[in-house]
Structure 1
């Protein structure tokens, strides 16, 4: 049986893909096209490692090419292919209730791709973002979430990270934040290290006051 949890926090750091939007169809299509272009074996069945920066995937798949060229190619493909991009349940309602200075997006996408996807989805582009091209080390390193907390002017311990991938969960915990895992791209077992897990953001209610944010949600048993 699920437990109703009440959490107080000063700010929220959202991952993007798999938390706010789903662009999995585009991601799979584009990476398989990229893999075919660069003669990666079994390109037609390539499975994208979710939550990893594109530059790191490029280096992993084709360490012999210029990584910046490979990154530009996959970024251009994903900028063009936005078919099937959807806003995930509960996202619009939750974002509408959050003060603009209390949340940020911390993503493994580049800034250009982040803005493109948010525009297509019709979601607000926050004042504070940390993208893949703004950090030296991507998730699961804690740098992205530490940087995100700094943008809010808060210690990471006073921020709640919301993630859908094990690498992001690990990054949030390593930064010192509590982490709310959201099911979708990964199973509850995959996200077992998260502080709490919810089926979707539709399950999350939030209120604000002078002291911060108060969230309430039923956890996945």
Structure 2
């Protein structure tokens, strides 16, 4: 079974699996993320705007190491994760998120996020979105985006080659991760105004999803014409 994605402007991508980033693609969690990062940064004497800017697409552990190398990165990352998991106020599904997830067979979809498992599940729950069979979080990888490890792990769990995946990403680090993993990338605008991706969409509501059987695959009802009794 092939998945055919039609983008604004008529571009058509055919693939065997669709992999979604979470924050900024499936859920609108930026208000909560910014709120927690700004409070954390201010309490540690860091510049809140810089911390927020550098956070896009990065896991908390890598972010702390980057902006505050003198702190205990693992301890601070755990503190941030605890705060994020408990702060779901205002988090909603992004336009088209539920429809896109429902349109892709469960065995052919995955989510790869730089957040940890507890945070990801909390945000999916409050947004009313299903937890996929393949969910790759910061708890499952050694290196976060822009390293491709998470996306390659998702492809392996789905049983498809990276070249047969299309990734939806909203952050430069995520776009770089998917691209370096050999996957095609569609940028979702909103978190940032520009992305270095071949294709961009405003949100998933702009994407049409269609399933097509592979050549030679029997199609139920093939050869029949008209309705019953004709």
TM-score past 0.5 threshold? yes
CA distance in 2, matches of 1:196, 1:52: 22
Are residues 32 and 84 of structure 1, via their aligned partners in 2, closer, same or farther at CA, if it must alter by over 3 Å? same
Residue 208 of structure 1 corresponds to which residue in structure 2? 211
Matched, 1:5 2:4: no
Residue 217 of structure 1 corresponds to which residue in structure 2? none
Deviations 1:38-69, CA, capped at 9 Å, x for gaps: 232x3477534211111011112222222221
CA distance in 2, matches of 1:133, 1:67: 15
CA distance in 2, matches of 1:117, 1:28: 15
Larger Rg: 2
Which of 47, 55, 60 is the matching residue for 2:52?
47
Are residues 207 and 43 of structure 1, via their aligned partners in 2, closer, same or farther at CA, if it must alter by over 3 Å? closer
User: Which has the higher mean CA deviation after the structures are superposed, 147-156 or 61-70?
Assistant: 61-70
Matched, 1:38 2:41: no
- DSSP 3-state at the match of 2:11: strand
Deviations 1:13-59, CA, capped at 9 Å, x for gaps: 1000010001111111101111133232x347753421111101111
TM normalised by structure 1 equals 0.88
Matched, 1:111 2:117: yes
Deviations 1:106-135, CA, capped at 9 Å, x for gaps: 111111110111011110000101111211
Residue 176 of structure 2 corresponds to which residue in structure 1? 170
Q: How far apart are 1:104 and its partner, in Å?
A: 0.3
Alignment of structure 1 residues 1-221 onto 2, 5 Å? 3-40=9-46, 42-43=47-48, 46-49=51-54, 50-187=56-193, 190-192=194-196, 194-211=197-214
Q: Which runs of 5+ in 2 are unaligned?
A: 1-7, 216-230
Segments of 4+ moved more than 2 angstroms: 36-40, 42-49, 209-212
Residue 215 of structure 1 corresponds to which residue in structure 2? none
CA distance in 2, matches of 1:120, 1:97: 21
Are residues 177 and 43 of structure 1, via their aligned partners in 2, closer, same or farther at CA, if it must alter by over 3 Å? closer
Q: How far apart are 1:210 and its partner, in Å?
A: 3.4
Q: How far apart are 1:9 and its partner, in Å?
A: 0.4
User: Which has the higher mean CA deviation after the structures are superposed, 98-107 or 46-55?
Assistant: 46-55
TM normalised by structure 2 equals 0.85
User: Which has the higher mean CA deviation after the structures are superposed, 152-161 or 76-85?
Assistant: 76-85
Q: Which runs of 5+ in 1 are unaligned?
A: 213-221
The answer to whether the 8 A contact 1:10-1:211 is kept is no
In the comparison of the two structures, how many residue pairs are matched? 207
CA distance in 1, matches of 2:104, 2:97: 11
